[in-house]
A and B are shown apart, each in its own frame.
Chain A
Amino acid sequence: MSRFGRISVFVLAVVLLSGCTLHLAQSRENNVIDLARYSAIGVGLDKRREVMAALGPPDRVFYGRSILVFDYLWARHRSTDARFFVPSQIIPGFDPLVLLSLPRFFFDLAEHPEEFQPSRIEQLSEAVAGLANSAIPFSEGQDLLIARGYQLRHDRVRIVFDRASLVVQGKSMRFASGEYRIESLANRILLRVD
């Protein structure tokens, strides 16, 4: 085996034995709500028939004493979980922010246009370079660094009808939450960004 081959095998073995893992997950439910069609619904003008023609059958229906409510729902969840076993003595001055770029690499940051967005390759390079130089002495021996991130988004359109099935209210709501977190087994949460 050539010198290069031996080094490659060694590096691969070290990576495998180090227990570094990366897991990505994404789930979606229902079609994206067509907000353009929702915007075309006229309060005081359209009836239940027009609403269902525009948006389809609702995902939830309930009757109040004098109203009828339609809810249209859409949900998406994304998460990353990266784990690294890190020798505890290497270079001091490691900035956990560097690891933050790893979960962010896989997320769409378009919802936060005010944030500086380097290219994905830049983000990944930054994360890998940071990892290579990483680790302040978190504990004796080895420590486990866990970089986690998630984004959760629920969209909901609610249409309220009166007794005559006429639209009396329309509301579009978006619930979004997310968190990026760097944890160390020894020091627990090192960094948390909501």
Chain B
Amino acid sequence: MSEHVSSLKLYIGIWLALLAGTLLTVVAAGIDLGPFNAVVALTIATIKATLVVLFFMHVKYTHEKLTKVVIVSALFWLAILLALSMADYTTRLWT
């Protein structure tokens, strides 16, 4: 058995970090940061998602490089979808 087994302490730590992130995002939403409210909320969400992917989904310890290629490709295609759609909709009123 060569599969990596994470320690209980690591799992509890990630769990606490995710709960703290949830609390932080609720508190941050109540503070007026102007346009940065969305930036802060999405940054916290992305940090939480990254913790889940790396540690709960074991991507940090995977031997299979193709798994990482699949994840990066999926995110890249998602970025194309969002970026090009918004590039269209945000510039329609330009004259």
A-B complex is real: no
Chain B interface (Cβ < 8 Å from any Cβ of A): none
* Residues of chain A having any CB pair with chain B under 8 Å: none
